[in-house]
Amino acid sequence: LFQVVHTHKPHFMALHCQEFGGKNYEASMSHVDKFVKELLSSDAMKDYNRARVYLDENYKSQEHFTALGSFYFLHESLKNIYQFDFKAKKYKKVTGKEIYSDTLESTPMLEKEKFPQDYFPECKWSRKGFIRTRWCITDCAFDLVNIHLFHDASNLIAWETSPSVYSGIRHKALGYVLDRIIDQRFEKVSYFVFGDFNFRLDAKAVVETLCAKATMQTIRAADTNEVVKLIFRESDNDRKVMLQLEKKLFDYFNQDVFRDNNGTALLEFDRELSVFKDRLYELDISFPPSYPYSEDSSQGKQYMNTRCPAWCDRILMSHSAKELILKVKNDEKIVIYDHIGPNVCMGDHKPVFLSFRIAAGAGKPIANVHKCCVVQ
């Protein structure tokens, strides 16, 4: 992270984290506080004299807990930055460094919501939801939404239909978020939505392509006759096993297909965003699938054999936000969409980042409409 900051020297930096504290958050949440303190006091961040940190650490509240963390850092050279107060419905100038944790529901500077349990009933206690903040920089107002959508609970179920039932659940949840951030309660502004969307490749199409010349063997449980394993073998070549598929196993014999040329050959199976093409824009992906990486610290490039690798972690934006971004000028690569730590173990997800400039005066045509920098 510090290397990326040093390289790109952002004036405004937004860092969105999901599953704070990890799977064992009750025991691990103390590490979160240490991480936050180190981040705020580090030498690499010394030129960021203002910060806002929002941590949902209230794991005892089953109704509200999302395990989301949103960090915003403002460089000392940046003047006149305002953040929206959703309760007062006005912008407030950002000064100093402030950390909000535990019960974020009482914080008027954000909107936080956990998805209803009936969105994903097979998960007893989901932590999926979103946090929204609104900012104004030099007459340019925009929303930043930290999002965590639902995962695939079973590879076998994901393989059954195309698109999968899980894809439909994510579609419903993302549609809910987009409707929420453009509803009539507040003025409409451009928005960026980024986090763990859990988008997966079309599993049925991927398996049929990877194992086009294979024969499939079905293994069923003796007591229930339920399918518990699928084995795909080459028709010849001593019937070598190409792929084994279980609820939480996706063991393909050649991982290079997911890494070579950044996995570009598999992008055609990344289809979940196509439903939202009229509402969301994404720059071209030029990095390998961001999940599921090995959690072995010596295996920074290795994928785990638990799921089919996919681009779960994304940075998406409204079409109006796309217009705010300064395009490439004089062959200078100003807009960069990439992943962090390609050779370093950073958990099962590899973080992604988007670096860009906002075009000078980009927000001025609508400045009089949203009056973003008029502080009452």
In a domain, 369, yes or no: no
The model's pLDDT over 176-219, given as tens digits with 9 standing for 90+, comes to 999 999 999 999 999 999 999 999 999 999 999 999 999 999 99
In a domain, 60, yes or no: yes
Residue appearing with tokens 């792929």: 243
Cα–Cα distance, 215 to 231 (Å, whole number): 8
The model's pLDDT over 82-140, given as tens digits with 9 standing for 90+, comes to 999 999 999 999 999 999 987 798 899 999 999 988 888 777 678 899 999 999 998 89
pLDDT for 60 equals 86
Q: How many domains does the chain have?
A: 1
pLDDT band at 364 (very low <50, low <70, confident <90, very high): low
Taking residues 319-339, report their average pLDDT: 80
pLDDT for 373 equals 44
pLDDT for 376 equals 32
Spell 60-96 as b/e; 16+ CB within 10 A means b. eeeebbbbbbbbbbbbeebeebbbbebeeeebeebee
pLDDT for 374 equals 42
Strand ranges (DSSP E) for 138-189?
Answer: 140-148
Cα–Cα distance, 115 to 314 (Å, whole number): 19
Q: Give the DSSP per-residue string, 261-302.
A: GGGGGGGGG--GGGGGTTT-B-PPP-S---B-B---TT-TTP
- The CATH number that applies at residue 348 is 3.60.10.10
Whether residue 329 is predicted with pLDDT greater than 70 in this model: the reply is no
In a domain, 206, yes or no: no
The model's pLDDT over 6-52, given as tens digits with 9 standing for 90+, comes to 999 999 999 999 998 888 888 888 899 899 999 999 999 999 999 99
The model's pLDDT over 234-263, given as tens digits with 9 standing for 90+, comes to 988 789 999 999 999 999 999 999 999 999
The model's pLDDT over 58-70, given as tens digits with 9 standing for 90+, comes to 888 888 899 999 9
pLDDT for 301 equals 93
In this structure, which amino acid lies at residue 47? D
Taking residues 295-317, report their average pLDDT: 96
Structure tokens at 296: 């072995």
Q: How many CB atoms lie within 10 A of CB 219?
A: 12
What range defines the domain where residue 307 resides?
1-200+260-355
Residue appearing with tokens 């062959």: 331
In this structure, which amino acid lies at residue 13? M
- What's the mean pLDDT when you consider all of the chain? 91
In a domain, 213, yes or no: no
In a domain, 214, yes or no: no
In a domain, 24, yes or no: yes
Q: How many CB atoms lie within 10 A of CB 289?
A: 26
Cα–Cα distance, 120 to 353 (Å, whole number): 28
In a domain, 341, yes or no: yes
Element (H, E) at 36: helix 25-41
In a domain, 217, yes or no: no
Which carries the bigger pLDDT value, residue 245 or residue 363?
245
Residues 6 or more apart in contact with residue 300 via CB below 8 angstroms: 293, 294, 341, 342, 343, 344, 345
pLDDT for 367 equals 45
